[in-house]
Each structure stands twice: as structure tokens, then as C-alpha cells.
Structure 1
Amino acid sequence: MTVLIDPPAWPAHGTLFSHLVSDASLAELHAFATSIGVSRRAFDLDHYDVAAERYDVAVAAGAVPVDGRELARRLGASGLRVPGRARRAAKADALLARWDALLPGARDVGVDLVERWHEPHRVYHGPEHLVHALDSLALLEGRQPGVPDDVVAPWSAGGGATSGSEAGDDPDHVPRSGVATQLALWFHDAVHDGEAGRDEERSAELARTRLADHLGTSVVDEVARLVLVTTDHSPAPGDGPGALVSDADLAILGSAPDRYARYARQVRAEYAHVPDDAFRTGRAAVLRGLLAGDALFRTPQGTTLWEAPARKNLHDELTTLDTPT
């Protein structure tokens, strides 16, 4: 790993700031920032803002000084870069605004989830993925992506949440279509320790625990079930909500080639501890498994939007893995 820093040139708060980045690992970037006394509050999803008076300290500790253009190039090549628009949407305050609109009165749950999605070891499975999945779900459900869905749930009317048992027994406390699918995406990678299958099980259990005081039992059960659908993305025939959640989670596969390439770099960066040969073998097996199925997407909208470009993206990445430079 190399930690890079550009010259102090960005004015704010009465001083100038540098950007401090890593070309390989966010976890090691966080460790470096801590070692030179830079607060985690200075982290902005792919870089730290470092005040001018800390520049010499960072260089003395091992940060390599480069100009802004070189820093941007190295950050982009690493797969860790988050573009400005995506970075703004993935910030904690923006995500909390979306959460508050979805489930009023459950701010503590939202804060916990946002903190989880911003854990330092995440690269692809971080807040940008959450935003992309939520926006993809909005497309599938006919809502406007990027706009908080103003859901004023009947169980919060009158200033207090109805208890789980009461809400589950009262048909008036069933949220309208789309709430369970959105909540499932909020929780689907809430636990991400790199253990396939177990992560989804733990995320589903977290949904049960954190939502029990805010939603009826039947709704909580449905959210947990939908989280588990993302284990293998194989919803049963006729499972409309499961198909929506699965397609939204996989939508990145059908993104534009440049966005897909960044996704692939992010996945590699998230597994930076895995040697190249082992990563190529494992990743190629995953891609072949995806391509072997009859369809990646299970909704008509998802098939129309993403099936063809996803298969091309997967084939192109697989070719790259099979012929490494």
C-alpha cells in the first residue's frame, strides 16, 4: 500500500487542506490517519481532508507527496475512488434523510445502519452500493431514484410507534407496497464480514432485532425473508418482492461499462488481502456461475434494463481474468 498526499490547496475553515488517500486499502488509510492524529470526521468516503499544518507530519510519517492530478489518477486506478455526486448521496446525513422518510420514529435504527454501511473495511459493499441498490429498486417500482420516499407510516400516526404485536395483528398497520423491499436493501449487507451465507443470516437476524419495536411481526418477517433472498439471488417463482430485491442488488452488473469497471476494481480492493492468482480463480468461478443461469434478473423491468449489458460486462471481465497482464 502507498499513502499519497497532495499539496494543501483547498480552502476551508480559514486554512488550506490536502487530500490523503491510499492506492490499495481503506483500512490501512484509516490506520495511517489515526497514527498522525487526523480525526475520522475528516474522512470523506475515499479520502481524508488534512489541514495544512498536518501536511509535513503526514509526509514525515510516510505519505508520498504527489500533485493533485497524480493523486486522482492513482485513486481512480485503485478502485477506491467515489465520484463527487455518488459521494454526496452516500454521506451519512443524506442517507439518514432517506431513512427518516422511510421509517419515521426509528432514527436510532437508521444511525446504527449508516454506521455499519460506513465501516472502514468496506469498499464495494459500502454506502455507495446501498444508494445504488435503493435507486435501482426505485426504478423497478416506478419511483424517482435519488429522492427520499415520503412514507408516513400509519403505525407512527399520533406521535408514537405501535408495538410489534399490535401492529402485526392490525391490518391498518400494514405498510404500503415498497416499504419491506426498501428495508430489506437497507439491511441486506448490514453485516459484512466476508462470510458468504453467514453475513446474510446475521443481517436478517439484525433486521428482526432492530425492527421488532417499530413494525408488526409479519412485516419484520418479510424483511428478514427478503434479506435472505440476496444469499443466492434465486427468488421462488411468483415471489414478486423477492425478485425486486434480488434485481436491485444485482443491478450494478448491468451498469455502464465504466461504472462496471469501477465496481470490479472496488471488489478487488475489498479483497486486497487475497493473492492475485487466488482472487482471479475465485472471481472467475463467481462470474461463470452467474453466466451459467438462464437469467440474472427476475423482473420484466430488470430484464429489459440490465440483462444484456450485464452479460456483456461479465463476459468482458471474465476475459480479463483469464488473460491477466
Structure 2
Amino acid sequence: MNKDRWKALMGVMGFEPSLDCYDILYAAYSEKHRFYHTAKHIDAMLKHFDEVKELAQRPNELELAIWFHDAIYKPFSKSNELDSAVWARDFMLANGADESNAQRVYDLIMATVHDVDVTYNNDAQLMVDIDLTILGTPPPVYDAFEKHVRKEYRWVPYFIYQKKRKQLLNSFLQHKNIYHLAYFREKFEDNARSNIKRAINTL
């Protein structure tokens, strides 16, 4: 989570540097109960974002949504995305952004709930696909991801975790495509399906 990158984004959005917010975000992503949803996850998403930035209709808003999307992460909470989205929206409004701009960032973060029944616009599709790139990484990287997620839910009895995790992973396989956009399907789809099937079999 590069501070200079944050300052540059604040500048192009017409905001103050807001280094206090950066520090709070960095501290949040450094919480001890996090093993996957860390600053490294944000850095990885920003790297993927840089590769597809030209596909975004509002790239600055999409980048800000990436910074905030897992800012609130409590393993037993069902409102992490909502709480993170509200924080991002409030931050934008406090910096003088229009309601419509703030709402779009809020909506981008809420897209990471990965609700299969929601129809996403272009930038929300990008947001979701970038968030799911981990599923299509090489097997050693994916396997480490699974281990880190389990650590974040280490207090959940294994038989419960196993059932819930299988349900979630199977939900991805039930779709014709895991990824919305052709770029991500071509680059990650096959690996993602292979990784998910292997993970289900080893749970």
C-alpha cells in the first residue's frame, strides 16, 4: 500500500492528501487476525487494476474502491462490505465529492459481496473480476490463499468451516463463467476452476 500512490490518487480526485486516512487504512489491513485480507491483497488488486485500467469508465473511483473494499474485516461479521462501503462513501463526502460519485464507490465495494443475482455495470464487473483473480493464480499461490482464509476463521470448528467453504466454492463452479470480462476469463478462468475443484476435494 504505497503512500505516494495514495497521495497521487487523492490529488487527481481533488482531495486533500488525507494521510491520516491512509494511516488508518494501513493499520486496518495490518490487524493481527488478518492473513489474506491484508495490505498484500490490496497491492495485488492494484497491480491487476493497472493492467486493465483502460477498461474502466471511472478508473479513479475504481481505484479508491479497491483501497477501501476490505477496510473493515471481522471474520464473524456479515456486514464487512457494507461497513467498508459506508466508510468510503463518508470519506468521499467529507472531502467534497458529489453524492453520485460517493454512491458509485459505495456500489463498487458492495459488488464484492459477490451476489450471483446482481447485474453489474462495467466498473463493478472489473471490481469483482479483480477481486477474484486470486482464484486463478498458480496452484501454490492458491493453496496458500486457502490456508490463509482458514486461519482467518480458525475459531470456527472444522466441520462447519468445511461445509460453508464447500458451499461457497461450489457456487463459483455453478456459473457458466466465474469472470465477467473476456480479459479475466482468458487469463484466469481455467486455472480458477481447476483450483476450486482441487480445494473442494481436499476439504
Is the pair's TM-score, using the shorter chain for normalization, greater than 0.5? yes
Residue 232 of structure 1, CA deviation? 1.8
Q: Which has the higher contact order (CA 8 A, sep 6+)?
A: 2
- What residue is the counterpart of 1:115 in the other structure? 27
Whether 1:184 aligns to 2:65 is: yes
1:1-325 correspondence to structure 2 within 5 Å: 94-104=1-11, 105-142=17-54, 177-195=58-76, 197-214=78-95, 215-232=97-114, 234=116, 236=119, 239-321=121-203
Q: Secondary structure at the match of 1:272?
A: coil
Contact 1:233 1:246 in 2 (8 A): no
Gaps of 5+ in 1: 1-93, 144-175
Q: Secondary structure at the match of 1:263?
A: helix
Q: Deviations over 1:166-218 (max 9, x none)?
A: xxxxxxxxxx8311111111111111112464111111111111221323322
Residue 122 of structure 1, CA deviation? 0.8
Q: For 1:251 and 1:266, how far apart are their aligned partners in 2?
A: 16
Contact 2:29 2:39 in 1 (8 A): yes
Greater share of strand: 1
Cα distance 1:202–1:227, how it changes in 2: closer, same or farther (>3 A)? Answer: same
Contact 2:75 2:152 in 1 (8 A): no
Q: Secondary structure at the match of 1:212?
A: helix
- What residue is the counterpart of 2:14 in the other structure? none
Q: For 2:35 and 2:84, how far apart are their aligned partners in 1?
A: 18
Q: Deviations over 1:16-73 (max 9, x none)?
A: xxxxxxxxxxxxxxxxxxxxxxxxxxxxxxxxxxxxxxxxxxxxxxxxxxxxxxxxxx
Q: For 2:155 and 2:5, how far apart are their aligned partners in 1?
A: 34
Contact 1:141 1:178 in 2 (8 A): yes
Instruction: Give the TM-score of the pair, scaled to structure 1.
Output: 0.57
Residue 274 of structure 1, CA deviation? 1.5
Q: What is the one-letter code of the residue matched to 1:134?
A: L
Q: For 1:113 and 1:178, how far apart are their aligned partners in 2?
A: 20
Aligned-residue sequence identity (percent) comes to 27
Residue 315 of structure 1, CA deviation? 0.5
Greater share of helix: 2
Q: What is the one-letter code of the residue matched to 1:302?
A: F
Q: Deviations over 1:96-145 (max 9, x none)?
A: 222112113222222221111111111111111111112122222259xx
Gaps of 5+ in 2: 12-16
Q: For 1:196 and 1:228, how far apart are their aligned partners in 2?
A: 15
Which has the higher Rg, Structure 1 or Structure 2? 1
Q: For 2:179 and 2:123, how far apart are their aligned partners in 1?
A: 13
Cα distance 1:273–1:319, how it changes in 2: closer, same or farther (>3 A)? Answer: same
